[in-house]
Chains A and B, each alone.
Chain A
Amino acid sequence: MQLVNGRRLHWRIRPVVTLLVAGLVAGCGGESGEPSDTLRVALLTSGPVSDAGWYAGAYDGLLLIEDSLGASISHQQTATPAEFDEAFIAYASSGYDIIFAHGNEYQDAAIRAGEQFPDVTIVVSGGGRISENVAPLIFRLEEGSYLAGMAAAYMTESKVVGMVGGVAIPPARGTFVAFEAGVRAVDPEIEVLEVFTGDWNDVAAAKEATVAQLSRGADVIIHNLDAASFAVFQAVREVVDEGNVAYAVGMNSDQNAVAPDVIIGSAVIRIADAFLATARLWQSGGIGGAAIYANTEQDVIDFVFNPVLMDRVPAEAIERIASTKAAIRAGDVDIPRVVFVEGEDEGR
């Protein structure tokens, strides 16, 4: 119980505060808010940009905008809803033009900040709410995961495939619904297992869930996770090392190189391309009041086979997936999805 001490702590803190203030006065003058013609773009993520997936794709997009449009860029990783507001205010009040908020969790704070700062444009990835200057950027990943489902159906020998998800939000459920439809389009008899761990980045939970599905006979596993996706690949690799045949399917970005020994292909969002296209759309004054869609037609959504394992894929599968992709581009395939944007209908 020696914890009760620090009787004169404020004598300690006080000089700290004094020094902070003194340093501030001496150090940094006001240099914010300089009016300039440079495009200023900010990115907010609620996870690390080292996940080789969802957040990494967004960060690549930010760098691509810097390179292609000569924009000045900034990124902040935020954790709590209170921080979302703070980051929006900080960026908007220091003159940023576009803020990419990479996840639906930002949508309420984005609407609030949009009202307060009418000059800023906020793009919320996977968001569901729309205002004058807040637009959701909707990735039609269903199209890619439908193709992934077809690939899985061709690869499975046990006729059981599995899906391991993070949080069961509508965009994530949508990819699984479409994956299942893709599987059934090839073979309606195949059993499809589904689990959501409740956490995008919980490696232990994802591994456990994958092992459980593998032990129930699944031999192709697709995920919809962020940093925890590595655990899915690892679990599959372990059963492959034991001499079994099993595959994983990458998601959100081209993960084929992440685990080339087990990933048969990836359902891809070219997030970076979508971000650049969105920034260009902003420059031409085309953002506001409506959702922005990114799909197969624009080549932002895709399914790509892993070249390393390509020789194991039946020729029929490759042909059929290529022709289906063309049909999706033409708008001829009815892919089920989960609708979540305000005022959105079932249409494309």
Chain B
Amino acid sequence: MTGGIAPARAREAALLGAGAVVLTLGAGALLLLAGGYDPVAAGAAMLRGSVGSWNTFVSITLVRSVPLLFAGLAVALAFRAGVWNIGAEGQLYAGAVAGVWVALTFSGLPRPILIPAVLGVSCVAGAAWALVPTLMRLRLGIGEVITTILMNFVGIYMAAWMVHGPLQEERGVFPQTDRIVEAARLPTLIPGTRLHIGFALGLVIAVALAFMMRRTRFGFHIRAVGAAPEAAAVAGRIDPARIVFIAFLASGSIAGLAGAVEVSGLTYALYENLSEGWGYTAIAVALLAGLRPGGVVITAIFFGALRAGAGAMQRDAGIPAAWVDVVEALVILAVLGLERVRAARPGSDVREGET
């Protein structure tokens, strides 16, 4: 981590952080007042619903943060390598479909084999979903922003088709799969809560990515290619195409894992609307974290808390979903905006080679 932060810098950062909170609270309160809602009750509900108790924090906030953690790490890794993977959403669905397929098809396998198989195959599926945009970029020079977005639609509708068709529950009534067997479900991480080991797996991946980025030759290559591909090729004798290829597929596989972890850790069946756009929220999660894996852990939990609190604002303060969404968007805008203001100040270390 950063060794010598000048005290002035730290104070500035703290001030800006506090500024973000005050600004957001002010804007949100005004907005709620304008709508005729009680901002104090809303704020109290937000806090109670996200960090109100240990169990709330673990069973709701942390549980909500899990898909954002995986997808956020996937996006951060890709962006670091200069790959604009906007396709985490589609890769997530591909992973969920593949994972649930394995869990349903090989339901007789013992747990120590079945769970790794579910997760492993979801990685492959996520990577496969990323393969099309990867090849189109490397072979045809087509920008991945467009292709990954388009692959999202394919992924979302593919999952919808699966639960209406090949993977639909045996009774053939509702658009969902049968529930997966016990042996395919992720064990609970903290007894008495809803938090499953998927969260721990996400932390492990975050640590591994952080180590790789900072301490390995490959991590250096990723950062070099992400910063300046030509320079990396000329000066560092790095093959940018190879780095892009690996980073893109690795990003896809982590996003694919997000889908399978959600299914085998929480929902135990595949439904049409599995994700509420986690693959897109993950972009904000990753950017807010400065594309640092460690930061992604914190921002994913922050967004998880936001979503958890949003639910409580509806339940306990009677504020309609649309208002809650607007307030939530304000929070994100305020935090992103203030972060940018800080970064743009003269003397701030916007970009260094060091992670």
> In this assembly, does A16 line the interface, its C-beta being within 8 Å of a C-beta of chain B?
yes
A4 touches B80 (CB 8 A): yes
> In this assembly, does B328 line the interface, its C-beta being within 8 Å of a C-beta of chain A?
no
B314 touches A82 (CB 8 A): no
> In this assembly, does A8 line the interface, its C-beta being within 8 Å of a C-beta of chain B?
yes
B262 touches A86 (CB 8 A): no
Q: Which of B121-129, B130-138, B170-178 contacts A (4 or more CB under 8 A)?
A: B170-178
> In this assembly, does B291 line the interface, its C-beta being within 8 Å of a C-beta of chain A?
yes
> In this assembly, does B179 line the interface, its C-beta being within 8 Å of a C-beta of chain A?
yes
Count, chain B residues at interface, CB 8 A:
78
Q: Could you list which residues of chain B lie within 8 angstroms of chain A, going by C-beta atoms?
A: 2, 5, 9-10, 13-14, 16-18, 20-21, 43-44, 47-52, 59-60, 63-64, 79-80, 82, 160, 164, 171, 173-176, 179, 194, 226-227, 262, 266-269, 271, 273-276, 287-292, 294-295, 298-299, 302, 305, 308, 311-312, 314-316, 318, 320-322, 335, 338-339, 342-343, 349-352
> In this assembly, does A87 line the interface, its C-beta being within 8 Å of a C-beta of chain B?
yes
> In this assembly, does A79 line the interface, its C-beta being within 8 Å of a C-beta of chain B?
yes
B79 touches A82 (CB 8 A): no
Q: How far is the CB of B235 from chain A (nearest CB, A)?
A: 17
Interface 1/0s, chain A 1-29, versus B by CB < 8 A? 11111111111111111011101100110
Return the contact of B160 from the options A77, A87, A128, A198 (Cβ within 8 A): A198
B48 touches A7 (CB 8 A): no
> In this assembly, does A131 line the interface, its C-beta being within 8 Å of a C-beta of chain B?
no
A283, B314: Cα distance in complex, Å: 26
Which residues of B sit under 8 angstroms from A156, Cβ to Cβ? none
A82, B68: Cα distance in complex, Å: 13
A169 touches B339 (CB 8 A): no
A48, B226: Cα distance in complex, Å: 42
A1 touches B82 (CB 8 A): yes
Return the contact of A108 from the options B63, B269, B274, B276 (Cβ within 8 A): B269
With A86-B311, A108-B176, A128-B174 known to touch, is A9 a contact of B299 (CB < 8 Å)?
Answer: yes
With A4-B80, A24-B47, A86-B60 known to touch, is A81 a contact of B17 (CB < 8 Å)?
Answer: no
B273 touches A12 (CB 8 A): no
With A80-B273, A81-B273, A86-B60 known to touch, is A15 a contact of B52 (CB < 8 Å)?
Answer: no
Given A4-B227, A83-B311, A90-B49, 18 more A-B residue pairs with CB atoms under 8 Å apart are A3-B79, A4-B80, A12-B16, A14-B17, A15-B14, A32-B48, A49-B320, A75-B318, A78-B311, A79-B276, A80-B276, A83-B276, A89-B59, A108-B268, A108-B269, A167-B175, A170-B174, A340-B174
Q: How far is the CB of A345 from chain B (nearest CB, A)?
A: 15
Q: How far is the CB of B248 from chain A (nearest CB, A)?
A: 16
Which residues of B sit under 8 angstroms from A77, Cβ to Cβ? 314, 320-321
A24 touches B51 (CB 8 A): yes
Q: Which of A28-46 contact B (CB under 8 A)?
A: 28, 32, 42, 46
With A23-B47, A74-B318, A90-B315 known to touch, is A82 a contact of B289 (CB < 8 Å)?
Answer: no
With A1-B227, A85-B194 known to touch, is A8 a contact of B314 (CB < 8 Å)?
Answer: no
> In this assembly, does A233 line the interface, its C-beta being within 8 Å of a C-beta of chain B?
no
Give the interface centre of A23, A32, A76, A198 by most chain B CB atoms within 10 Å: A76
A171, B328: Cα distance in complex, Å: 35
Q: Which of A300-345 contact B (CB under 8 A)?
A: 340
B13 touches A169 (CB 8 A): no
A6 touches B339 (CB 8 A): yes
A24, B274: Cα distance in complex, Å: 31
B314 touches A76 (CB 8 A): yes
A11 touches B17 (CB 8 A): yes
B315 touches A169 (CB 8 A): no
Which residues of B sit under 8 angstroms from A27, Cβ to Cβ? 43-44, 47
Which residues of B sit under 8 angstroms from A13, Cβ to Cβ? 17, 295, 298-299, 302
A-B residue pairs, 6 tightest by C-beta: A6-B290, A15-B17, A77-B321, A11-B13, A12-B17, A28-B44
Return the contact of A75 from the options B176, B227, B314 (Cβ within 8 A): B314
> In this assembly, does A91 line the interface, its C-beta being within 8 Å of a C-beta of chain B?
yes
